[in-house]
C-alpha cells in the first residue's frame, strides 16, 4: 500500500534499512527513473554489479517500459481503483546475461526528509524456482551461520557475497570487500597464493584441495572446493569457493604421528638400554683404572685421552636415559595439584639459570587457578626444560615471561612461557617436537619430544608460536569443575 507522504517522512538511512530488510529484489528510483539504490538480492538475482545500475536509467533493467511518470501514475491509479488487484500485472526484466524474465511487481512512494520523492520498486517473483522466500532465507542463514568459508564471484571476477567464517579466516571486513574485484580483495598477495583464482571461471575447479593461509599471525589449514555456477541455459553466471578449516584435525593427526614415533623409539630404547649400559659400565670401569695408572706414571697425554673417553661414555649414558623417558612413564603418580604452588617451587631454579645467562624472569599469574590432575615431578620437568631452552635462546638482557591463566571456555589451565629471543624460523617450527631434531651444537633433540610425551600422558597439549621475534610455548592441562 502507498505510504501517506505527508505523515511519514524518511531519512536516507531509514530508506537503506528498509532496502536491506526486504527479501525480494528491490531498487529505489526517483521520478525520472534514475536508480538511486538497490539491494543485495537484486544483485544476486540479476547478475549486475552495483555500479552497473546505480545512477543509471530504469530502462536499462526494463527496456520496454513506457514513460516513467506515466507508468508510475498508471500503476497507482490501478491499485487505488475499486477493481481488484490484477494478478497478471507484470514487467519484463533484462538480466545481466542479456536474458529476460517476467516478474510481478509493486511500487511504493517514499517521501524523504530532504524533499526527495523516491519510489521503491519491488520485483515480487524474480526467480525461476519456486519457494523464493524460503530459498533466500536458507541462503542468508547459510552464509551467516554455517561453519564454512563461502565466496561467491560473478563473471567479472567480482566478490558478490562472502560468509562470516570466510571473513574471519581471511581477515576481511565484509563491507570493505563486497562487490570489489578479486584482484583488489587479495591485493598484496602473490597471484599463486591467492585463495580464489580467475581460472575458476574458465572451468578449472578443485576438490579437497589442501591450502594454508596465515591471517593476523594465525596459520589456518584449509580444505577447499570450487566450481562454476550456471543458469538454466547452461551459461556461466559465476563461481564459488567453499573451504573448511581443518587446522585442529591436522594438528591432531600430527600429534598422533609424533606419539606413535615416540612410542616406537621408547619401546626400542627400553629393550636395548640394559644391553647398551652393561658393556658401557665395564668400559668405564677399565678406563677409570687406566686413568689412575696414567696419572701415577705421569703419562699426561694418555691421561687426557681417558678423560675424554669417560666424558663421552657419560654422554651415552645420558642419551640412553632420555631414550627410556620416551616410553610411557612408569609409576606416574596422579594427584590433584595446584599449578601455581608447583611452579613456585621450581621458580628459584629458573631464576638461578637466568642469572647465569643475564636474563630477567617475569612471573605473572591471573588470579586463582583451579586444581588439575597430574604428576608434580613430571610437570616440573616439563616446565624446567622449556624455561631452560627459552633462557638459552636469548642473549644477555633478554626477558623470560611466564604467565599462568585459565581458559574457562576450554576448561584448561594454561602456562605460557615466552622468550624474547630471535624466534624459530617458520620452516623449522613444525619439526621441533620430532625426536633427534635439534639446533643446538651438543643437543640430543630429545628434550622437547620428552616434554610433549609427558604432557600428552597428563591429558594435556603443548603448542608453540613464533612470530619472528620471540617464541611462546603454551602448556595446557585440563581441569574439572566438579
Matching residue, cell 589449514: 221
Q: What would the grid cell of residue 98 be?
A: 542479456
pLDDT of residue 56: 92
pLDDT exceeds cutoff 70 at 395: yes
Classify domain 335-478 at the CATH topology level: Heat Shock Protein 90 (3.30.565)
Classify domain 12-127 at the CATH topology level: Beta-Lactamase (3.30.450)
pLDDT of residue 2: 40
Higher pLDDT, 164 or 232: 164
pLDDT over 70 percentage in the chain: 79
pLDDT band at 4 (very low <50, low <70, confident <90, very high): very low
Length of the chain: 482
Q: What is the CA radius of gyration of the chain?
A: 35
Considering only 147-161, 163-177, 263-277, 357-371, which range has the smallest mean pLDDT? 263-277
Domain residue ranges of the chain, discontinuous segments joined by +? 12-127, 146-245, 250-326, 335-478
The pTM of the full predicted model, rounded to 2 decimals, is 0.42
Tell me if 299 sits within 8 A of 290, measured CB to CB. no
Higher pLDDT, 410 or 266: 410
Same CATH topology for 12-127 and 146-245? Answer: yes
Q: What is the DSSP string of 191-205?
A: GGG-SS-GGGGGT--
CA dist 271 and 274 (Å) reads 7
Q: What would the grid cell of residue 293 be?
A: 695408572
For the chain, the 3-state helix, strand and coil shares in percent, each to the nearest 5, are 40, 25, 35
Higher pLDDT, 67 or 414: 414
Tell me if 368 sits within 8 A of 336, measured CB to CB. no
pLDDT band at 112 (very low <50, low <70, confident <90, very high): confident
Considering the four listed CATH numbers 3.30.450.20, 1.10.10.10, 2.60.40.650, 1.10.287.540, the one that applies to the domain covering 146-245 is: 3.30.450.20
How many Cα atoms are found within 13 Å in the side-chain-facing hemisphere of 144?
6
Amino acid at each position: 500500500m502507498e505510504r501517506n507522504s505527508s505523515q511519514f517522512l524518511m531519512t536516507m538511512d531509514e530508506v537503506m534499512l528498509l532496502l536491506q530488510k526486504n527479501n525480494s529484489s528491490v531498487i529505489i528510483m526517483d521520478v525520472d527513473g534514475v536508480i538511486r539504490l538497490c539491494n543485495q538480492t537484486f544483485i544476486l538475482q540479476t547478475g549486475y554489479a552495483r555500479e552497473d545500475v546505480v545512477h543509471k536509467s530504469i530502462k536499462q533493467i526494463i527496456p520496454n517500459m513506457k514513460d516513467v511518470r506515466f507508468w508510475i501514475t498508471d500503476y497507482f491509479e490501478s491499485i487505488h481503483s475499486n477493481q481488484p488487484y490484477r494478478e497478471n500485472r507484470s514487467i519484463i526484466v533484462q538480466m545481466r546475461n542479456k536474458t529476460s524474465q517476467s516478474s510481478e511487481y509493486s511500487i511504493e512512494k517514499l517521501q524523504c526528509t530532504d524533499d526527495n520523492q523516491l519510489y521503491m520498486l519491488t520485483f515480487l517473483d524474480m526467480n525461476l524456482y519456486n519457494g523464493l522466500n524460503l530459498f533466500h532465507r536458507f541462503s542468508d542463514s547459510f552464509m551467516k551461520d554455517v561453519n564454512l568459508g563461502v565466496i561467491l564471484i560473478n563473471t567479472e571476477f567480482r566478490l558478490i557475497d562472502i560468509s562470516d567464517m570466510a571473513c574471519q579466516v581471511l581477515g576481511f571486513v565484509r563491507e570493505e570487500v563486497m562487490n570489489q574485484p578479486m584482484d583488489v580483495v587479495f591485493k598484496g598477495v602473490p597471484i599463486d597464493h591467492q585463495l580464489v583464482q580467475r581460472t575458476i571461471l574458465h572451468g578449472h575447479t578443485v576438490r579437497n584441495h589442501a591450502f594454508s593461509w596465515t591471517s593476523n599471525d594465525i596459520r589456518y589449514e584449509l580444505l577447499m572446493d570450487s566450481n562454476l555456477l550456471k543458469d538454466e541455459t547452461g551459461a556461466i553466471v559465476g563461481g564459488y569457493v567453499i573451504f573448511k578449516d581443518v587446522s585442529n584435525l591436522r594438528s591432531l593427526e600430527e600429534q598422533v604421528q609424533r606419539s606413535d614415533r615416540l612410542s616406537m623409539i621408547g619401546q626400542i630404547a627400553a629393550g636395548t638400554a640394559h644391553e647398551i649400559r652393561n658393556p658401557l659400565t665395564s668400559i668405564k670401569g677399565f678406563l677409570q683404572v687406566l686413568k689412575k695408572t696414567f696419572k701415577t706414571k705421569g703419562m699426561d697425554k694418555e691421561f687426557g685421552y681417558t678423560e675424554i673417553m669417560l666424558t663421552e661414555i657419560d654422554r651415552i649414558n645420558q642419551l640412553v636415559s632420555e631414550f627410556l623417558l620416551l616410553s610411557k612413564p612408569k609409576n606416574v603418580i596422579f594427584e590433584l595439584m595446584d599449578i601455581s604452588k608447583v611452579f613456585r617451587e621450581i621458580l628459584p631454579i629458573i631464576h638461578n639459570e637466568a642469572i647465569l645467562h643475564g636474563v630477567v624472569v617475569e612471573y605473572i599469574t591471573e588470579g586463582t587457578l583451579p586444581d588439575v590432575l597430574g604428576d608434580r615431578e613430571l610437570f616440573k620437568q616439563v616446565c624446567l626444560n622449556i624455561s631452560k631452552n627459552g633462557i638459552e635462546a636469548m642473549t644477555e638482557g633478554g626477558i623470560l615471561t611466564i604467565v599462568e591463566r585459565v581458559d574457562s571456555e576450554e576448561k584448561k589451565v594454561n602456562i605460557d612461557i615466552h622468550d624474547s629471543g630471535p624466534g624459530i624460523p617458520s620452516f623449522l617450527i613444525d619439526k621441533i617436537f620430532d625426536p633427534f631434531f635439534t639446533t643446538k651444537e651438543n643437543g640430543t633433540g630429545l628434550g622437547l619430544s620428552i616434554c610433549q610425551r609427558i604432557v600428552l600422558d597428563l591429558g594435556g597439549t603443548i603448542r608453540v608460536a613464533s612470530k619472528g621475534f620471540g617464541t611462546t610455548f603454551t602448556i595446557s592441562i585440563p581441569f574439572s569443575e566438579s
